[in-house]
Structure 1
């Protein structure tokens, strides 16, 4: 994605310093996965794979929105799908797959770094193989959110439905390798959850339903309750390792700037994202203790905001089309 050149040296230095402090314990592995969401290159791949093997990390299960959807929306009756060019033009063989990107998604890069597969398949891919089931799949759906209403507005797959598909997946896995082995695979897997922006930009700030029911602060609390419910449901299904990706400063999304006719970020929207992230982070700390789940909250807000405000610090990273998609989703 990023070529090895002088302009990317700041990123490489940042990652190498991070890695020096990270590879310590199992929580560290989740941190590494989180770092990979943004910085997808220049890591010590052999060391990462050895660490994953020592901790029996079996696969990755992905839940979320367009940031991690590899094509689950392709056969839905929705306008939230991108199975056409120019999407996918830099993917393998230049073929669109339904990923909301010109190339691979961060989760694909994570799986590749761990040595499982070059790309995590969509669970609803009609060509999904039994072999692929063993290495993790994505249930994510572009346009979805923690609030099921968000998904219903776009006729995409809600998080509750994604969990239904996961239960269906477990049954298939059990038939494939046996119930006991399937339970081990799930328990040793890493569950990754990435969503939330659509709840505000395609629901609360656009549609009349929730804004009549809640203030922004109360709507955030409503979403936190939903996250709590879904994480507990994941735990009940066998999740023991969980990474939750925080919200980006969505006031800096190019679409928002274009709609408002300004070049600066919308600080009001960014404040909403920041306060929501604080609540998610607090929730993760609470659930880690109460459920005994190994979890990590991934804060991408500060890094992305710094990248937007200081692009040259990262080698004019915003001029790289591949990485632009990764960080301004």
Structure 2
């Protein structure tokens, strides 16, 4: 298994150096909730993929003299700064804790926020919970143990969370409205938020999003692409497809799919298809790639997608339509290459 934060298949491919950006007033305001001595550590989140390693979390908990839940609640305004909400103007932040608990009680933390697209269907929006879970998944985590959210999860997100391999043991933290105690929260087992849930087992499938055993697919390019020396964008899309989560077979096979996007500075980000038993809450590979890109770029720095590649096993559940539509809304001048894959 890859080590979180370091596996190149799950992270951006750094081709061009990044320039540190001046933090926005909103970010500075969110940062001011932390003691001055800790602000440089928190501020580094802008340049570190929206991730706090468990060693940093241990230090923060000890310095703030708080538990993991209180720290996660305190980080929600930081996570909200990543929100892109041109339609709703309603920013939502989420913080996901991985399953890598340390003796101190600390876990690695992953930021997430909602991401909307102008001139696109509302159904293309990426929810904050999806964004945080996707961030943990692409950074090598194999489950989410705790999820803090700035607002109660909608039904769509509850169904998405239910697909997780760790959903039956997951704890959800929500702000305790009206409390006089700073960063107070209500703690709920996720299973109480979705009673009589519909999931993989109802379809006779042993599923579980983020389960590494379900993301090791032996697939390759169909005819026309050099298997040993493919273009970089195609290779990144293939690697993402090979690690995608698509346990539900169609009449023509499993819908393994990945998307890679290239920015105007030549940086490449890849995203995976994350299927759902209820179909609609599935995460498309382009959504996965764009959400990961947004968390990986310094806030306030504009990046333009110039090229994209979709690699998929052709099935009756193709990603071509949704990828084309969403890419046209987000980056209308970007080109899209398509690569058919096959089982090896």
TM-score, normalising length from structure 2? Answer: 0.27
Structure that is richer in helix per residue = 1
Structure that is richer in strand per residue = 2
Asked which structure has the greater RCO (Cα within 8 Å, sep 6+), the reply is 1
